[in-house]
Amino acid sequence: MPTKYIFVTGGVSSSLGKGLTASSLGRLLKCRGFKVTMCKLDPYLNVDPGTMNPFEHGEVFVTEDGGETDLDLGHYERFIDENLYKDSNATTGSIYQTVIAKERRGDYLGKTVQVIPHITDEIKRRISLLENESTDIVIVEIGGTVGDIEIVPFLEALRQFRRDIGRDRVCYIHLTLVPYLAPSGEQKTKPTQHSVTELRTAGVQADIIVCRSDKPIPESLKNKISLLCDVPIQAVVSAIDADNIYEIPLLLHQEGLDDYVCKVLGYDPLAHPPDITGWTLLNRRIESVEHRVKIGVVGKYVNLCDAYLSVAEALRHAGFECSTKVDIDWIQAEEVQDLFGSARFDELDGIVVPGGFGERGVEGKIAAVGYARQHLLPCLGLCLGMHVMVVDYARNVAKMAGAHSAEVDPTTPYPVIDLLQTQVDVTDMGGTMRLGSYIAHLTAGSQVADMYGNTVVSERHRHRYELNPRYRHLLEEAGLICSGQSPDGRLVEFIELGEHPFWIGTQAHPEFKSRPDRPHPLFRGFVLAAKTVAEARMGRLIDVDVLQ
């Protein structure tokens, strides 16, 4: 049977949850036995999010093949549990770049290059790249909001796509807002009506309307939306706020979204019954919290938590399995030294230092990992987090005064972190990156090998600088354990301390491979170590209460 397509658009307002809605639908369709993949089309002119400030766009999610993509691809992977690739994200910038390159080569034989058909044809080609024999359904989310000028070529491509491949192979889902106005005590459908009208103006008639609201939409309002937006009442779906994002598939299933999508695409829902047992059990685990830990995430972009979205989710995933609520304290790296000795820092059960680029906040991160090392506090360093752990150890244990990363201080006498790869093109910010999945060999008997349960692992990377092999023997003589390395032994991938309960750094970004029902081994080990600290602290508090 040919691959079928679901297109998800949004109206009224940004940040309504198109990505989570699309991801949740993907999970429900997988529960019905369909093979699903997903794609994000973004209307901005950047070629990819790789050079965008995290304050602008949040986290850059890295795929297996080294694609620097939108953070929604992280949601896609976590919900449908499928690895995605560079082709799973396309931007206006990358589409225009391809079309202009073709024009320069003469591929258009001197014709006038226009938005229609050349840009729309390239958009359709990008969508079609996801079609293969092993995929039943492709879910495509269109970024932005209907009515934005940037989104017009994408909507035209969607309109043409259904004509090109047949109506029975395409389903259009439109996500809108049904706000509640407190003064009148009513939910209002007018924004939804206007949004659907705007979509129709672009030539696209929604098959399903998903209505975001803070409370369920009554049947009377569903009937009104059905009548005025020209869809069956079964196609009006109420998507209310959820206690946790992993509850959303269950709420949408209760509304019958996956049933109706099957009908639109020509599948018999009874022939593809859903098995949501595993997802239901996951949500029960999420609700059955027996312990709490407080984790400090020390970063430079903490004012926008989406900059560390996958880190936060990986911590929560580990908590789900350990029946532990993970409370995250977002700590600004530049303020770390001022917090030493305060109740806020003393109450932490663990510290995570995530990745990043640039000089700002680095000294605070170095101080944070040093504090964790000295106080036997669980600490997990990711990418730059591993770099600052190496710098701390070099300065304060290996006695390399002034040791630093050459990224931050090119004049340091001990560049323990340095740029090892040949610079290909200084005009291309991704030219020197180590991007995507790389194999690492772990030392048998090390903490990381025990956590993984294996001595050969694969993790995703996004960085330029590495531990400088010139100083590896000095660091190891001082007690640092290089517990993982590249297959050729040249690059250090993991570090740890033997006498510390959990002081582990990795050059990789393991957070990208964590799943809600299958937490990443490093994060699981970290949360377990933090739980031990929390229980010990609670025991000390109880002892003090008894003494008093």
* Positions marked active-site: 383, 509, 511
68-69 and 61-62 as β-strands: parallel, antiparallel, unpaired? antiparallel
- Whole-Å CA distances, 402 to 343, 353, 412, 415, 481: 31, 21, 6, 9, 21
Say whether 287 sits in a helix, a strand or coil: helix
Within a 10 A sphere around the Cβ of 269, how many other Cβ atoms?
Answer: 15
Q: How far apart are the first and last CA of the chain?
A: 73
| Cβ–Cβ under 8 Å, residues 386 and 397 | no
Please give the structure tokens belonging to residue 134.
């092993």
Could you give the 3-state DSSP secondary structure of residue 544? helix
Cα distances (Å, whole numbers) of residue 436 to 77, 83, 463, 505: 15, 12, 10, 18
Give the HSE-up count for residue 219: Cα atoms under 13 Å, Cβ half-sphere.
0
Go through the chain and tell me how many residues it has: 548
> How far is the C-alpha of 262 from the C-alpha of 239, rounded, in Å?
18
β-strand partners of 349? none
Which of 173, 145, 176 is CA-nearest to residue 257?
173
Residue partners of 265: CB distance under 8 A and separation at least 6? 4, 6, 137, 168, 169, 171
Task: Report the alpha-carbon distance of residue 495 to residue 385 in Å, rounded.
Answer: 11
Helix (H, G, I), strand (E, B) or coil at 531: helix
What is the DSSP pairing of strand 324-332 with strand 61-62? unpaired
Residue 43's alpha-carbon distances to 48, 94, 192, in angstroms, are 11, 10, 22
Residue for token digits 């996958």?
A: 310
Q: In what order do the strands lie in the sheet with 503-506?
A: 324-332, 291-299, 350-353, 379-382, 503-506, 492-496, 481-485, 434-442, 456-463
Q: What is the spatial distance between Cα 465 and Cα 484, in angstroms, rounded to a whole number?
A: 16
Residue of 503, 522, 483 whose CA lies nearest to 371: 503
